[in-house]
């Protein structure tokens, strides 16, 4: 006898906001604000350099590594490939301190419009989204 397990696939619809929009996240041990402050698209090599800014409002230190973000080409729906930025994202923020860093993506095809999605964690339903481009 073969046992089969079926997992429901849920596609979340995330509202998209313009670059410069910040989102506040509050949970046990976390109170921070995150925003996408700049995200130029470089047509010559189909890449994007996204600059994120985080402010810690919690009384304890916040250790920030590369944010859990993904980028999608809005014209094709395909996920863009991350590549190493010269200015990565590794900061420790005290209360009311702000830090920033970059995440970079590249595409094998032309990109005009991009959707950037931030996930607080795999166990949280908190997702934020920005639209970049035309």
Strand partners, 71: 116
Q: pLDDT by residue (tens digit) across 111-121? A: 999 999 998 76
Does the domain at 17-133 match CATH 2.60.40.1240? Answer given as yes
And the tokens for 38? 């700049």
Residue-range domain boundaries for the chain: 17-133
Q: pLDDT by residue (tens digit) across 77-113? A: 999 999 988 776 778 999 999 999 899 999 999 999 9
The CA distance from 45 to 111, in Å, is 10
pLDDT reported for residue 27 = 80
């Amino acid at each position: 006898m073969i046992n089969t397990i079926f997992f429901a696939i849920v596609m979340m619809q995330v509202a998209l906001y313009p670059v410069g929009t910040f989102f506040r996240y509050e949970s046990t041990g976390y109170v921070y604000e995150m925003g996408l402050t700049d995200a130029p698209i470089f047509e010559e090599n189909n890449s994007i350099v996204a600059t994120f800014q985080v402010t810690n409002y919690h009384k304890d230190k916040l250790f920030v590594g590369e944010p859990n973000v993904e980028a999608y080409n809005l014209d094709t729906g395909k996920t863009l490939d991350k590549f190493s930025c010269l200015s990565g994202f590794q900061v420790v923020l005290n209360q009311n301190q702000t830090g920033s860093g970059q995440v970079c993506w590249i595409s094998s095809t032309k990109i005009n419009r991009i959707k950037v999605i931030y996930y607080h964690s795999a166990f949280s339903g908190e997702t934020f989204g920005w639209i970049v481009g035309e």
